[in-house]
Chain A
């Protein structure tokens, strides 16, 4: 049945998801939302990997996906810990207010 769905649809979906992630990253101020946008972008990339892997009958794409998922899980753990600490210290989750590196 998979042959019925053309590869371009998967790639388009991947691109749309990625664009949504980028937009979320750029325009949302809540740090949790930004974080979720990053996950969205990662998964959009994962989707393209899997698509190409299937299309080329090459298992490397799958392997990349697993790596990305593992790294994303680790990153989520660290990232959430940072967010927690930031919130405790600053009492805010607005990324625009977390700019103490400036000057």
Chain B
């Protein structure tokens, strides 16, 4: 089926734009960048039609990538460059290339006045390539290649405005925090290889059922560490809010819709491992719900519109992990899909607002934009109702499926999830009210975005509204995931919907009905407000406990001590001692023949004396 064409097309786009883009006109750069991704999307669609029902995984073998040891030895390692498409991959392929195409189109409008135009699209295409390798790779190692590749592109695109200090710092932060997660992932792969003798999904996962729970739990937890890094879960979530330093289309594509869901993909792919290690799955659920709640509360007090949606993304990723941890893999992946629609829409809408206000991101300087940029407003409203969980829009279905599974799994997790749903509705409503309603607070002259930007918004708006009942992902994925017990509690639906409505209502009261109430509430609840506003001081905490000691250790011990002291000391010391020895020995080189002769004699006598002492030649 020529699966390799799917990732190769964006790679070709990257190479063409990356090498020749500087000399290209903008329209040519657009044609290459959008063309490659749209072609890739069309090829995905054609492939999936060609493969039909996809009841079994379709694997294409290309070549042997790594081979080590002898085939009948236990340490025989063979990693193939194989691509695999099953139903799970199919869902991700459609989301990545579909939403990716829309965001590429949008970005041509958003980035029109930015420098480094071709560079931006080259990176974006490279990201698409690696993301597609990530979901199509038929082994953990090939998945890891894509995993690291998207991390690299994330770093490059966060630091896209490389002349700004905060952007480069944010890029480094994302890269370094992800290293911690990747370390866990690498350890997991070592352990998988040691236990199952292979890294191919088709060999590892069928064997997993026969392994002991303890070993599977270790693998599951190590994989979870990797997922926590990439998908911004506690305690490694801090890079994602900072990653908003990148251009807004990057935030939408990489840091909301696709890359950050790689952790969900990887854990869903490893579902057999978690199914047989319920302890590890339970920890994932706990981390997921803690992240969801924690990030949602932070989102309530942020004033930067992109920061609000960044924390919202962290929170929604938490929901997906609750789904995974509760055994509802289908529901988790469903939320990936609907979240890709509505969160990409929220980010692109925020980008449209920022674009309209010429770079303003602070919601305190917005307000009253409803009339000025109506298309942006109405499309964002679609995302608003979707993320708030209002039926029958997309977020409602996936969130409800997750919460239903969570109810079966553990009641406290369910109730925290419901409260988080309310908070989610609250902060998104707050952002909408502060941005679009009330009196204009800025001194800008907003202008509606061009069609190239609002048409992708409109398509995403339709998907946000209808995506839930159009694409019943759990039903489609039922065959490949372990069965779950559906909660037969119809009243659960009403509770989560009520939580969403209460959140919206509260936001309406505080920010629209009684506009002074927000400030007076912040003044009365000064201590909690300050804690939330300052993101629980987690960054400061990490700075004090991890970053500062590491920097100190690097500077004082490793740099001044080991490098400058030990290594430089040894090298320079050898040099200096050689020079000292030379300054003494050069006295021998007098140029006086008779002294040389004396030395020769001395040497000869010494040699003979030594031989005599050693007892002659024999």
| Residue positions of A touching B, CB distance < 8 A | 22, 25-27, 29, 34, 95-96, 98-103
Contacts and interface: CB of A to CB of B under 8 A. Distances in A.
A25 B594 contact: yes
Contacts of A27: 594
Interface string B581-618: 00000000111111001100100000000000000000
Contacts of A100: 591
Given A26-B597, A99-B590, A100-B591, 7 more contacts: A22-B601, A25-B594, A34-B593, A96-B594, A102-B589, A102-B591, A103-B591
B594 A26 contact: yes
B598 A26 contact: yes
Contacts of B589: 102
A1 to B, nearest CB: 32
5 contacts: A26-B597, A34-B593, A99-B591, A101-B591, A103-B591
A22 B589 CA distance: 20
B601 A26 contact: yes
Contact of A25 (B590, B591, B597): B597
Interface residues of B, number: 9
Interface in B59-107: none
A99 B591 CA distance: 5
Contact of A102 (B590, B594, B597, B598): B590
Nearest to B590: A102
Contacts of B597: 25-26
A95 B591 CA distance: 10
A34 B592 CA distance: 13
Contacts of A34: 593
A99 B601 CA distance: 20
Contacts of B591: 99-103
Nearest to B592: A99
Given A22-B601, A26-B598, A26-B601, A95 B590 contact: no
Contacts of A95: 592-594
A70 to B, nearest CB: 23
A98 B593 contact: yes
Nearest to B604: A22
A34 B591 CA distance: 16
Nearest to B593: A95
B593 to A, nearest CB: 5
B539 to A, nearest CB: 66
A26 B601 CA distance: 9
Contacts of B592: 95-96, 99, 102
Nearest to A37: B597
A48 to B, nearest CB: 14
A35 to B, nearest CB: 11
A88 to B, nearest CB: 19
A34 B590 CA distance: 18
Contacts of B593: 34, 95, 98-99
A42 to B, nearest CB: 15
Contacts of B590: 99, 102
A12 to B, nearest CB: 17
A99 B592 CA distance: 6
Nearest to A103: B591
A87 B592 CA distance: 17
Contacts of B598: 26
A29 B598 CA distance: 14
**Complex A-B, nearest 3 residue pairs according to Cβ-Cβ distance, in ascending order:** A102-B591, A99-B591, A101-B591
B538 to A, nearest CB: 69
A98 B596 CA distance: 13
Contacts of A99: 590-593
A25 B601 CA distance: 10
B603 to A, nearest CB: 13
A27 B595 CA distance: 10
Contacts of A29: 594
A100 B592 CA distance: 9
A59 B269 CA distance: 90
Contacts of B601: 22, 26
Contacts of B594: 25-27, 29, 95-96
